[in-house]
Amino acid sequence: MRMNFPQTRAVLLPALTVAACLMAWHWLVKLSGTDLFPTPLEVARGILELGERGLLAKYITASLFRVTWGFFLAVAVGVPLGLALGWFRSAYQALNPVIQILRPISPIAWIPVAILWFGIDDTAPVFLIFLASVFPITVSTTAAVQNMQLVYLRAARNFGIRGPQLFRRVILPAALPQIITGVRIALGIAWLVVVAAEMIAVNSGLGYLIIDARNAGKRYDLVVAGMVMIGLIGLVLDLLIRRLETFDEVRWGYGQR
Amino acid sequence: MDNAESLIFVQGCWKSFPGKTRDEPVHVLEQVNLEVREGEFVCIVGPSGCGKSTLLNIIGGFLRESRGAVRVAGAAVEAPDPRRIFVFQENGVFPWLTVEENVGFGLMSRPASERAERVEHYVRMVGLTGFEKSYPRELSGGMRQRVEIARALAADAEVLYMDEPFGALDFLTRLKMRADLIRIWQAEKKTVLFVTHDIEEAVQLADRVVVMSRRPATVQETVTVDLPRPRDLDAPGYLAARDRIFAIMGMDVHGGGAGGDPL
Ligand SMILES: Nc1ncnc2c1ncn2[C@@H]1O[C@H](COP(=O)(O)OP(=O)(O)OP(=O)(O)O)[C@@H](O)[C@H]1O
Ligand SMILES: [Mg+2]
């Protein structure tokens, strides 16, 4: 079979891969004879069941709500902070060591502290998601400004552009492609962390679903259903944020391919 | 002649860069003297890597000299100035702006109608009509260079510092751009300091051609080209000036290149 239509191929190839993975999953479960781990079909039934009980939409909304807040807070803090760190050398010297010390501390390690500070309402998971995503955004924005081509800066200064204008008209647009890459990675991490964040005693969300289904009756079909939903929504989020890379103002920053 | 200081005044300029090892700096410029009067068109030629861009960047206010005096319009050069626009050897067109946004970049303080008019005029002059809405990544290297030239001309600066601005252009476009530049220079009484490695180009354009030596570079000699424009490329004066520069740079055009270092 020859596939001359790139559009068709872009859908067909991944569909085939997914189908093959599902087949392998199904047969591995069957061959092993386990009655604890679900087959794909049982997981699909689990998802349907959650949908009928109204839990699916509720949990997805709850998780997306926390990720949205944590992530947008991280963008709102990380981008300006990164611009400042990349531009002002003394700010970089003063703050970079602190950032590098905080950055490797896993969000999971912060859970007790988050509970201590924020209690067990929605603030704590939002804080954890914020923590997880603010560092990649800050670091990539800083690097983007530091690696900016000198000639753009010289041209701008030649035309008398200074101060806030310089940030708005030159530094930010020059750094934007790399900032978007950082933001994209950060969104992936934010979504990744949601499960851990929802281990805090909240009572909704896909992370909660996974923990709850395991604890209350070993419903592994629902555990895997939660995992599958997290994966699918992660895919959709990445597809959405990739759109940012197609804008004319930033296309120059990515390879020609 | 009055004895007021020239518009661009460089005296005893030295420049070295920190080298690979700490105590061995790279000496690039050594005791460079250069004067450009207001309204003059001066070309700088010299072997590749001798320090032409470095000198121009110092005069433009992007680099500081290590030693010496560099003054423009009577004041020591501290920083770049919008009255003196630079055309960079490495393309300085902003990739996130369209052609027309790039050309209009230096005109933000002007009324929109005047800005649009000037942009249109200079886009047409450099032959990019129809590409106003294109982004630099959609253009060829030579077209990008023309965008930068249009941006510099549109800004209506008194002085133009041009670092090999026509390097990436084909022969015919280069001839047209030279003619346009001369026309603008004559009509608008600009001062132009123009770096090129093309000796023919220098002799076609300049009132004076400053020949630099190899690194560490100094001004080897200045050749005055006192010929009417447009220049006749077969005139004896033209050929004499050209051959003189070739000879200074160590190339005998008639004798087959004996004796000198290659360029
Ligand atoms: N920032 C820098 N650090 C160290 N050395 C430098 C730096 N900039 C330039 N140089 C050195 O200075 C010398 C002159 O460079 P410059 O770019 O001025 O040459 P040029 O005459 O413009 O050459 P070309 O005709 O190839 O453009 C080169 O040998 C280069 O290695
Ligand atoms: Mg150069």
Q: What are the sequence ranges of the domains in chain B?
A: 1-78+190-250
Question: Is residue B158 pLDDT above 90, yes or no?
Answer: yes
**Nearest residue to B164 via CA among B135, B188, B134, B142:** B142
Decide if B78 touches A, using CB distance below 8 A.
Answer: no
B255 Cβ below 6 A of ligand 1? no
State pLDDT tens for residues B203-252: 999 999 999 998 889 999 999 999 998 898 888 999 999 999 999 988 65
Q: What is the pTM of this model?
A: 0.86
* Mean pLDDT of chain B, nearest integer: 90
B80 to chain A: which residues are within 8 Å by CB?
A: 154, 157-158
- Going by their DSSP bridges, the two strands B191-195 and B26-36 should be labelled as unpaired
Would you state the structure tokens that stand for residue B92, as one six-digit string?
């300085």
| Cβ(B178)–Cβ(B186) below 8 Å | no
Q: In what order do the strands lie in the sheet with B41-45?
A: B84-87, B159-163, B191-195, B41-45, B208-212, B219-224
- pLDDT given for residue B219 in this prediction: 93
Burial of A37 per CB tally in 10 Å (0-12, 13-18, 19+): middle
Residue B238, chain A, CB below 8 Å: the answer is no
Q: Which of B92, B105, B135 sits opposite A151 (nearest CB)?
A: B92
For residue B49, which ligand has an atom nearest its CA?
A: 1
pLDDT-derived band at B260 (thresholds 50, 70, 90) equals very low
The answer to whether the CB of B70 falls within 8 A of the CB of B233 is: no
Q: Is B92 on the interface with A (CB under 8 A)?
A: yes
B27 CB less than 6 Å from ligand 1?
Answer: no
What does the angle CA A254 – CA A241 – CA A114 come to, to the nearest 5 degrees? Answer: 120
pLDDT, mean of each 10-residue run, chain A (257 residues): 73 94 95 90 94 94 94 97 96 96 91 88 91 96 96 96 94 96 95 85 87 88 94 94 92 81
Query: CATH classification of B1-78+190-250, choosing from 2.60.40.1730, 3.40.50.300, 3.90.1300.10, 3.30.70.2660?
Result: 3.40.50.300
Vertex B250: Cα angle to B248 and B253 (nearest 5): 95
Q: Whose CA is closest to B205, among B244, B254, B236, B164?
A: B164
Helix extents (H) in chain B = 52-60, 99-103, 112-125, 141-154, 171-188, 199-205, 236-248
Say how far apart CA A17 and CA A21 lie, in whole Å. 6
Instruction: Determine, yes or no, domain membership for A90.
Output: yes
Query: What's the total number of domains in chain A?
Result: 1
Number of Cα atoms under 13 Å in the Cβ half of residue B62: 23
For residues B125-150, average pLDDT = 93
Exposed/middle/buried for residue B56 (C-beta within 10 Å: 0-12, 13-18, 19+): buried
- Report the alpha-carbon distance of residue A236 to residue A187 in Å, rounded: 11
**Two tokens, residue B254:** 């008639």
Which residue's alpha carbon is at the smallest distance from atom 26 of ligand 1? B48
- Hey, whose CA ends up nearest to atom 24 of ligand 1? B48
> Which secondary-structure segment (H or E) carries A138?
helix A123-146
Residues in chain A: 257
Q: Which of A150, A148, A170, A149 is nearest to A159 (CA)?
A: A170
Protein residue closest via CA to atom 10 of ligand 1: B17
Task: Assess: ipTM above 0.85.
Answer: yes
3-state DSSP call for residue A234?
A: helix
Mean pLDDT over B121-145 rounds to 93
Size of interface A-B (CB pairs under 8 A): 52
The tokens for A165 are 């204008």
Helix pair angle (A123-146, A172-197), 10° resolution: 150
**What is the tens place of the pLDDT at every residue in B63-107?**
999 999 999 999 999 999 999 999 998 889 999 999 999 999 999
Domain hosting A211: range is 38-250
Q: How far is B74 from chain A (nearest CA, A)?
A: 19
**Which of B13, B24, B45, B52 to mutate to test ligand 1, by most ligand atoms within 8 A of the CB atom?**
B52
The alpha carbon of residue A241 and the mean position of all alpha carbons in its chain are separated, in whole angstroms, by 10
pLDDT in tens, B3-54: 577 999 999 999 999 988 777 889 999 999 999 999 999 999 999 999 999 9
Closest CA to B95 of B135, B37, B153: B135
- Identify the pLDDT of residue A195: 81
A139 contact partners, CB below 8 Å, separation of at least 6: A82, A99, A103, A182
pLDDT confidence tier of residue B259, bands split at 50, 70 and 90: very low
The 3 state secondary structure assigned to B37-98 is CCCCEEEEECCCCCCHHHHHHHHHCCCCCCEEEEEECCEECCCCECCEEEECCCCCCCCCCC
Cβ distance A158 to B90 less than 8 Å, yes or no, reads no
CA–centroid distance, residue B52 to ligand 2 (Å)? 6
Interface of A with B (CB under 8 A): 151-152, 154-155, 157-160, 170, 173-174, 176, 248-253, 256
Question: Which residues contact residue B145 at a Cβ distance below 8 angstroms, ignoring those fewer than 6 apart?
Answer: B91, B165, B166, B167, B168, B169
Are A151 and B79 within 8 A, CB to CB? no
Asked whether residue A9 is assigned to any structural domain, the reply reads no
Task: Answer with the residue of higher pLDDT: B253 or A254.
Answer: A254
B169: number of CA atoms within 13 Å, CB side? 24
Number of neighbouring beta carbons within 10 Å of residue B71:
16
Is A158 within 8 Å of B80 when comparing Cβ atoms? yes
Question: In this structure, what CATH number is given to the domain that contains residue A187?
Answer: 1.10.3720.10
List the single residue in B with minimal CA-CA distance to A149: B92
The whole-number pLDDT of residue A161 equals 94
What is residue B91's predicted lDDT score, i.e. its pLDDT? Answer: 87
Picking from B183, B150, B146, B199, the residue whose alpha carbon sits closest to that of residue B168 is B146
pLDDT digits (tens, 9 = 90+) for A94-129: 999 999 999 999 888 998 899 899 887 889 999 999
CA distances B38 to A225, B7, B193, Å, are 78, 5, 11
Question: How many CB atoms within 10 Å of residue A128?
Answer: 28
| B84: chain A residues, CB-CB within 8 Å | 158
* Cβ neighbours of A41 (radius 10 Å): 12
